[in-house]
Amino acid sequence: MDLKSPYLPKVLPIMVDNMRGSSNPLGISGGKLSSWADGLDLPSKGETLLYTGCEYQLIPYVLTLVDQVKKMGPFGYEGGVLVDVAMGLRKLGLDAATAFASLTAKDEDYYNNITRTYAKVLRKHGVDFAYLGEEEPYSGALLYEFGLMDEFAEHANKVSRLFKERKVRKVIVTSPHALEAFRVLYPKFVEGLDIEVLHFTEAILRSKENIPMALKEPLEITLHDPCHLARTLDMAEEPREILSRVNNLVLKEVPYSNKRWTTCCGAPIEVLLPSLSEPLAARRIQELASSGAGTALTLCAFCLANLRKGAKGRSLKVMDFAELLDKATEAK
């Protein structure tokens, strides 16, 4: 595979290199990405797996990378001259190992805790699962997204083999991108993949224990549908169905731009084009605020991070869906 194509934004080959070394696009160790589960005592073996795709855990690193890329110019190209991002990072004294030194512990805790919340909420609803811990691989969705099809095929087969070896029958995913990868893309690239894939919301809706959900104080919220969940996967109703069971909660829809007509938060280009991604997030925050609700929920790590950026200095609060369900089940 030739990743020297001159047409490629220069930041992409680096992500691919990282995936080869560590199975995730930013080269972060499995130990760090699985630390959220410390003390939860999750089994590492079982037919049903909770799959996080490392996504929320990776967000603090993505945010730091974006800050570095911003100094480097759009697409990793600057002033018409190719800039090798790895070189650039080194020039700034930020090689891959130290690039993330400026990571704030606050960010890390916040996003790790969201993954932890997903696990806690599932357990409260009586859903049992195992977790692969530091062996959990990234889904590869980004490879497909950026057109690295051969790498994606290779990665998809690697992940599928791991699932097979571990005799996994069912996977519950916390990310629309991982869900799309497993449900829509893997079948095109992997022979004989026979695993049931459920989104977090589907797992909750199917759980037999009907856990009462209520908020202590009345709350008006609006929902930011992640594009891939609402459109590609046609799952706009599942989160709404769950929210409708939460007492004291009022869902106020964004005019027009909801469900299949949801507006992208800008996250897909946050690494390549941060200077466009940020105004897109700010625009979406305006739309979400026009619902009249004071809080916006979403169900995707990348949407969450980008919308939080867009909401800086605004009164609208952005929360993850799992955070709200967690609150709704501790109320009683």
Comparison of 80 and 313: residue with beta carbon closer to another protein: 80
d(CA 131, CA 141): 20
Closest separation between CB of residue 66 and another protein, Å? Answer: 15
Comparison of 127 and 280: residue with beta carbon closer to another protein: 280
241 contacts 205 by C-beta, under 8 angstroms? yes
33 contacts 54 by C-beta, under 8 angstroms? yes
Closest separation between CB of residue 261 and another protein, Å? Answer: 6
What radius of gyration, in Å, describes the C-alpha atoms of the chain? 20
Closest separation between CB of residue 62 and another protein, Å? Answer: 16
Comparison of 249 and 264: residue with beta carbon closer to another protein: 264
Closest separation between CB of residue 191 and another protein, Å? Answer: 21
Comparison of 8 and 193: residue with beta carbon closer to another protein: 8
DSSP conformational letter for 5: -
Comparison of 67 and 150: residue with beta carbon closer to another protein: 150
288 contacts 259 by C-beta, under 8 angstroms? no
Please state whether beta strands 77-78 and 81-82 pair in parallel, antiparallel, or not at all (unpaired): antiparallel
75 contacts 88 by C-beta, under 8 angstroms? no
Closest separation between CB of residue 151 and another protein, Å? Answer: 9
For residue 264 the two structure tokens come to 């992208």
**Alpha helix positions (H), 23-99:** 30-33, 55-70, 85-91
Interface residues with another protein (CB under 8 A) are 1-3, 5-9, 74-75, 77, 79-82, 144-150, 227-228, 231-232, 256, 260-264, 266, 268-269, 272-273, 275-276, 279-280, 283-284
